[in-house]
Amino acid sequence: MTKSILKLDIEAMARAIHALVAIIFISAISFQSCLVSANFYTDTYFNWGAKHSYIFGNGEDLNLVLDGVSGSGVQSHKAYLFGSIELLIKLVPGNSAGTVTAYYLSSTGDYHDEIDFEFLGNSTGEPYTMHTNIFTQGKGNREQQFKLWFDPTADFHNYTIHWNPNAVVWYVDSIPIRVYRNYKSEGIGFPNQQGMQVYSSLWNADNWATRGGLVKIDWSCAPFRAGLRKFNARACKWNGPVSIYQCAYPNKANWWTSPVYKQLSWDQQGKLKWVRDNYMIYNYCTDYERFNWQMAPECSKPQY
């Protein structure tokens, strides 16, 4: 009897130690993965048009440039799964018609995930269009577009993608403008299986960007410049498939898993409604003709 009790005690202690080691391991990974801030010099690189862009201000500022020769783009060295990606952007001033300044997260391959901000330029005095989209397993067509309630060329403004196991939320200056909730258990795609890198670019899209391509770039206004500042990736570093569990594990290090981020507050919901009532100009969920009345299943689900 004594030997049996002793054996059970040892087995129970072994299980407890194993569980404790697992928790410590997961916590350690999570703490190492969550970056408080980033630097353009050390944390990004130019993936095209390097001669048309430059970093300055101790690595906190970057200018993307587009001229008749080339545009330019930058991306993060690391990929992430869940957290907040923040970037301050000052868009191309004046006659920006035909230009697009993009800021987005994306994985790679035919079945990639992607979360987008794109800013479609316009003629002098006309407002920018802020275009958002989300891809899951290579499938997009989830566009929502907005006008902005300020001049995005006069100063820098904060554009944040907050992404956790429950939802993706797009923010502009801390105001939520869009929510895409996780209904993967019901067969609706959600980006929670692939790490995504951060990208930003300035490019010629005058075949579609302004009035459906009717307004072309005025190259006499070139070079066009968009300013990026204070790239912050408070996010979980992607270390391969093991990150699918590690980055979603609910602990203090993975702050994005806190219950407070499972739902917008009443104040946030009020701000979201204000934006959508007053500044939304396109919603794929109400474009019945485009989809021949075969609407995406998430369109009938509550998002916030």
Q: Which residues are catalytic?
A: 114, 118
Dihedrals phi, psi of 82, to nearest 5 degrees: 80, 145
Q: CA 254, CA 247: separation in Å to the nearest integer?
A: 7
203, containing H or E segment: strand 196-204
Distance of CA 74 to the CA centre of its chain: 15
| Strand-pair partners of 84 | 162, 234
Q: Residue 198: count other Cβ atoms within 10 Å of its Cβ.
A: 24
Distance CA 182, CA 192 (A): 9
Is residue 194 a contact partner of residue 112, using CB atoms and an 8 Å limit? yes
Are 79 and 195 in contact by the 8 Å Cβ rule? The answer is: yes
Instruction: Please choose, from the candidates 94, 89, 50, 96, the residue with its C-alpha nearest in 3D space to the C-alpha of residue 69.
Output: 50
Closest of 18, 20, 25, 29 to residue 247, by C-alpha: 29
Is 251 within 8 Å of 27 (Cβ atoms)?
yes
Please provide the distance, in angstroms rounded to a whole number, between the alpha carbons at the two ends of the chain. 58
Question: With DSSP H G I counted as helix, E B as strand and the rest as coil, what are the percentages for the chain, rounded to 5?
Answer: 25, 35, 40
Say whether 65 sits in a helix, a strand or coil. strand
CB-side exposure of 98: number of CA atoms within 13 Å? 18
Q: How far apart are CA 130 and CA 195, in angstroms?
A: 25
